[in-house]
């Protein structure tokens, strides 16, 4: 998995990786920990909603 920005110093960093039909998310500091997987449509809705501020 990849997708973090280099130099992320915040304690709230996550990694996001797109796969066919799915987006995977995990804590960037706990690479062996749990991952979440979202269908691309709901993930796009989430990103659009959170981007509104």
Which H, E and C letters describe 1-53, residue by residue?
CCCCCCCCCCCCCEEEEEECCEEEEEECCCCCCCEEEEEHHHHHHHHHHHHCC
Q: How far apart are CA 43 and CA 33, in angstroms?
A: 20
- At 26-53, the pLDDT tens digits run 988 888 889 999 999 999 999 999 998 7
Q: Is the pLDDT of residue 1 over 60?
A: no
* pTM, 2 dp: 0.70
């Amino acid at each position: 998995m990849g997708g973090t920005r280099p130099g992320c110093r915040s304690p709230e960093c996550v990694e996001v990786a797109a796969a066919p039909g799915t987006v995977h998310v995990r804590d960037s500091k706990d690479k062996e920990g749990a991952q979440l997987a979202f269908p691309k449509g709901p993930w796009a809705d989430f990103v659009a909603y959170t981007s509104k501020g």
